Every structure is written in C-alpha cells, then in structure tokens.
Amino acid sequence: MSESSGQADATAMLLLGTHLGSHNRLTVLEEDGAADRLAQWRTGLVGPHAPARLRDRIPTPPDRSVPSVQGVRMLSSTSPPDAGSAPDGPETERLLATAVRLARTLPAAHPTLAVVRGWGRGDRERARLLCARLAEQGIRSTELSPVPEAGERGGQDRGPRRPAVDPLVHAGGPQEQAMRAAALWQLPLLIDRPAGRPGGELNAFGAHRSPVIGIHLSDGGVGVGVRETVLVSLQPQPGNARLILDNEKITAPGDQPLRIILTGQGLLEARGDSFGRRRIRRLRFERAWGAYRMDVDGAPARDVRAPLRIETLPGRLHLLHP
C-alpha cells in the first residue's frame, strides 16, 4: 500500500488506526493514552525481527509528549485547543488563585478539592488542566461529574451521597448542574461570579447562601433544583391530581403540566392552567395516576410517581465567588 501510494505517513496512520479501532471509528486516536498504545504497538511491529522494508517505510513519530504532573497529562503547547475549551485567562487565573487560597485556609491538614466538570470534551480537558495547576501548588484535587446529569432519567438519588472531599470548584459545563451537585451534597461551591456582579478585592472572595427547590420522591429519593421543576404526565388520560398548596387542597387536571418556580424571595410559585399562579412554601402532589416526567431546570431528569413533596430549602446552596 505504501509503495503504490507513495505516502508512507498516511499508510502508517491507517494501519495504526485500524489496529486500535475499526476503520470508521478513527476517533479512538484522540483518546487519552492513544499515543502510548501506538508507540508500544509500533515498537513490537518494527522491532528487530520485522522486515527491513517495513522498518524503513514506517517513520518514527516525533516525541511531542509533555511531562505529567502527579499523574495528570497536560496538553502539548503545539496542540490546537479543543472546541469549547476555555484558554487560561484572567477569570481562570483568578479562580485558580482563589481555590489555592481557600484550600490553604481550610482546617483540614491535607484538603482535597473536587473539580466539578461537564461532560463535554473541552470541559474535561479544562478540569484536567485545573487539577494540574492545583498540583503545582501542592493542592490535592479530584474530578467529579455533576449529579444529577441533564437528560439522565431513571436514576436513583437515595439522599445526599456526599463524597469524601472538601469544597467544590466549577471548572466548566452548565453552572446549574454544579449548583445542584453542591446543594445535594451540601458542600460549598467555588464558581465564577455571575455576569454583572462586581468582583471582590485582590486575594479575596465573596460568599452567599441561596435557597433551592427540594424534591422528596415517593421511593425515598431526594432531588434538588436551583431554578424550576416541571411535572408532565406520560399517560394519555391521567385523570385528576390533588395538590396541597401549603394548607389549601386543589384538584387539577393531570394532563396539564405543573410548573414550580423558585422566586427571588425564596418562595415557590406554582403555575397551572386550572388555578393560575400561587406563591407557596411547600406543595404536595397526590392521587395522580401513572408516571410523570420530572424536568429539573429545563432538562428531563427522571420519571416519577405520586406522591411527591416539594418545598424550599433555605440556605442549602453555599456559593463562593473569586
């Protein structure tokens, strides 16, 4: 093949790619550790027992690796930035400096920061780089994915399974996912300041607590929302459902979506076509037939069944800003 095409590089990449994965899945070359696996396979292929013609045809790839920092491999400076990744900028440097200062002021002798990331490739890479930068400062860190994930249905949230870490650091992905994880685990979250909010002084950070929506499921699970929760029936004719808004009992059609929004005053606002809008502190959803889809903060979270209890949890979300 190389003799007929005259392009030894392209032929070598084709052989290496088909060795790691099928011909229509060459994206495996972009995975972590692909370079090491390629080098090991090539060493065995063009070793001393390989034909001389093959050793001459397959070029030796240049060493483009970058030394790792405590087991975290960093990107080469010649590698193009991934789509969606955020380069080091003033916001990233400010977040890093605040995380280091926060870790050194914690009472624990060797605190561990949990870097909360999104599922995008750029988010994962930014989290790895942040862990590497923290390791350079002598700060231990680990990566965590937010809970619950947007679009994930049917998961079992059996209460706040708090990981053995100290404060959380948001490194990318939707902020609402990281906020839900922090509220569910009851851990402080270091996150970029919202747009329009002035920054703090040098080497200082701000903090505040916010309420969240607490969702108590019929199977004993617990969920949280930072903005809104919507219940949508999955049955064609679900009948009527009974709502208890604080102490008021209301019968509402089960085929109409029920939206519960967290207001700026820390109250819940229940919205339905049959009763309009009601400002409440707690809500109970009962006597509804069949399964309902529960959307949390604009994304489908899971399927649920009555009874449900929804209430405000004041001060549950603890946010830190650089």
Which CATH class name applies to 90-206? alpha beta
Residue span(s) of the chain under CATH 2.60.200.40 come to: 214-314
pLDDT in tens, 156-177: 444 446 778 889 999 888 889 8
Whether the pTM exceeds 0.85: the reply is: no
**Greater model confidence, 198 or 235:** 235
* Size of the chain in residues: 322
CATH of domain 214-314: 2.60.200.40
Residue span(s) of the chain under CATH 3.40.50.20 come to: 90-206
**Greater model confidence, 147 or 287:** 287
* pLDDT of residue 194 exceeding 60: yes
Once rounded to an integer, what is the mean pLDDT over residues 140-158?
Answer: 59
Strands, E assignment, the chain: 112-116, 140-144, 168-170, 189-190, 206-216, 222-225, 228-233, 240-245, 248-253, 258-262, 268-272, 276-280, 282-286, 292-296, 299-304, 308-321
Contacts of residue 201, defined as CB under 8 A and 6 or more positions apart, other chains included, come to none
Provide the percentage of residues in the chain whose pLDDT is more than 70.
63
What does DSSP assign to residue 30? G
